[in-house]
Amino acid sequence: MPLVTAAELVARQWPDGSWGRHASEGGRIVTTIFAARSLQEAGLHQEPGLSRALDFLARTAVVDGGGSIYGTRDSVVPCYTGMLARLLVRAGRVQEAAPLLAWIVHHQPVAFGDRVYHQPPGALWGDYLRRRYGGCMATTTCLLGLVPATSALVSAKEAGLEVGAEPLLEAMRNLLADRRVMFGRSGTVIPLAGRTRADPAGTRWMLPAFPLDYVIDLVELVQLGVDLGVPGSAMGEAVEVVASWRLPDGGWPMLGIRRLTEACRPESLSRSRSSTIITNRVAALGLNWS
């Protein structure tokens, strides 16, 4: 996909701070979340377009405390609740993030197969969450929801916010340790984005990517493991995979791509050239790569 500078992205922003082609505000929420993430995760924290996007999202996407993808209660989803909360906390907008963080603490279970690691005090938000996308809150809670939701709580903790998240954080630490970060019950890598003809094993999600959408990559998953204090013995295979991508110059390449319609793309995919963004993300893990 072509490179897109921050200025080019912001030039396509609606006056209300959103991005997208839909006429309705609700139809532009998801596009705006991803565009805002691309600016923030590229390190462009002072970009005025990011602030305007967060204004729009705080006004439009938060419904009864949850992060909604259409601006309605029945479109609140854990992964977008976590992404939105994390965006706001990292931007220092903690008051606007507070309802989203409370939603995660009160409604997000942590379960894997027949083992329940954490049952929240609140009731199930809506039965649709047992079925949506294969089951955000089914017997095995979806990692695509748990990772951003838990990451938001970690960001809140780092910002000095007390939201009563320790039981959930401990549960997630134990789940990742039991899964050895990235493995399912069969002992193979979890096919988080599904299996396709081009990706029959369903492991392409692992490749370090920018910008990211609702599908995490392995660097993001390992970062959460580091933040939660998952034992190194449970992270060995995942860390070895990240290390295998290192280039001779000591940097890491961008190997994955997300086909977002609106995003800042300052770097292109390349197997042979180091990416500043990916290399910085790996460095933030604080691991020894020598």
Whether residue 287 lies inside any domain: the answer is yes
Which one is predicted more confidently, 136 or 224? 224
Query: How many structural domains compose the chain?
Result: 1
Whether residue 279 lies inside any domain: the answer is yes
Whether residue 195 lies inside any domain: the answer is yes
Cα–chain-centroid distance for residue 207?
14
C-alpha 245/C-alpha 217 separation (Å) is 13
Q: Give residue 198's pLDDT.
A: 87
Q: Give residue 264's pLDDT.
A: 97
Rg (CA), the chain: 18
Mean pLDDT of 28-37: 98
Question: Are 163 and 101 a contacting pair, CB within 8 Å?
Answer: yes
Mean pLDDT of 47-71: 97
Question: Using one digit for the tens of pLDDT, what is the confidence trace for 183-236?
Answer: 988 899 999 888 889 899 999 999 999 999 999 999 999 999 999 999 999 999
Partner residues linked to 231 by β-bridges: none
Residue type, 117: Y
State the CB neighbour count (10 A cutoff) for residue 5. Answer: 11
Whether residue 184 lies inside any domain: the answer is yes
C-alpha 127/C-alpha 131 separation (Å) is 8
Question: Using one digit for the tens of pLDDT, what is the confidence trace for 35-55?
Answer: 999 999 999 999 999 999 999
Question: Are 249 and 270 a contacting pair, CB within 8 Å?
Answer: no
Whether residue 275 lies inside any domain: the answer is yes
Cα–chain-centroid distance for residue 61?
16
Token look-up 């305007």 returns: 52
Which pTM value belongs to this model? 0.95
Q: Closest by alpha carbon to 81, among 110, 61, 55?
A: 61
Res. 134 pLDDT band, cuts 50 70 90: low
Whether residue 12 lies inside any domain: the answer is no
In this structure, of 78-92, 115-129, 162-176, the range with the lowest mean pLDDT score is 115-129
Token pair, residue 271, equals 């197997």
Residue 185: give the domain boundaries.
179-290
C-alpha 221/C-alpha 275 separation (Å) is 19
Whether residue 70 lies inside any domain: the answer is no
Q: Give residue 126's pLDDT.
A: 87
Whether residue 80 lies inside any domain: the answer is no
